[in-house]
Amino acid sequence: MNKNLLPGEGHSFDAAVAELPPLPAIIEYEDEYDEVVRSIRTRECWNEVAIHVSGESTIFRFNQIDSSVRELVRHYLLSNLQVVAPGTMINYYRGIFAVQASDIKLVSCASPLEVKEAWPTLSAKYPIQMMAALKSLLGFLCKCRFMSWSSLYADFVSYSLSLQGKDPYASVRSGSCFLTIEQEAKLVRWIDSAAQGSSALDRREVEIACLIVCSYQFGMRPKQLGMIRNRDCSVRQSTEGMRLANPS
């Protein structure tokens, strides 16, 4: 990549950032865990914003991003929340947050062929999570027609900028997606306690306990449980006990 590109393109970069399409006043995304649609007022989150995923919130701290690329990254993260799963955007935030501002600015200003030439060097410098975030950023720049990027290069970004060593089952192989021994022991104690005190539980509490027992019995992982929605579940009343209690 042409190392002289960045100093000469400083003004063009700032001008291109200023010409980015304005963000909507309100951005909405679906919180699948709590099954609600959450709203972000973009004019009220210049410094940070909370994103809710899997029952937890992650703070996007824009004010901790280098000022030279802050507005570009802020536009990218908030805009993509409308089309990309919030959990994925959290991963991209963590990745892009750790990439040096000079590299973000450099790939944004460079031509597609120059980025392709520099991609192996960047891949050796950054782990795959950061490279995935950079690749996602470039896809956003294509949509916005930012400097040398345009929609014509969307396929180029998708297929020519590879992510070496990507393992879709990395969390399964590492075991990070499973309960720890301590968590499993705590869950079993809770199930035992619920069974012993079942007579004191109301109907809703019994339903929850039964669902947890079934989930544990069939080995569902925490993420799998978090993806299940209430509308996808049903608890059927059995008449078996009634027949046994009142035989005809």
Mean pLDDT by runs of 10 across the 248 residues of the chain is 42 88 92 87 93 90 95 96 91 95 94 94 93 95 94 92 69 69 86 86 83 80 70 67 54
Decide the pairing of beta strands 36-41 and 56-61: unpaired
What pLDDT shows up at residue 207?
Answer: 80
3-state DSSP call for residue 194? helix
The answer for residues whose C-beta is within 8 angstroms of residue 16's C-beta and 6 or more apart is 108, 146, 147
| Residue 10 confidence (pLDDT) | 45
160 membership: H or E segment, kind and range: helix 154-160
CB atoms near residue 142 (< 10 Å): 20
Q: Can you say how many angstroms the Cα of residue 104 is from the centroid of all Cα atoms in its chain?
A: 20
Does this model's pTM top 0.75? no
User: Could you tell me the sign of the dihedral formed by the alpha carbons of 193, 198, 201, 207, in that order?
Assistant: positive
CB-hemisphere CA count at 13 Å for 66? 12
pLDDT of residue 90: 94
Helix (H, G, I), strand (E, B) or coil at 242: helix
Neighbours of 181 (CB within 10 A): 8
Nearest to 40 by CA among 78, 86, 93, 94: 78
What phi and psi values does residue 148 have, to the nearest 5 degrees? Answer: -80, -5
What is the token pair recorded at 38? 């959450």
The C-alpha atoms of residue 131 and residue 41 are separated, in whole angstroms, by 29
- pLDDT score for 173: 60
CB 115, CB 103: distance < 8 Å? no
Residue whose C-alpha is closest to residue 89's, from 42, 143, 137: 137
Closest CA to 107 of 83, 136, 127, 71: 136
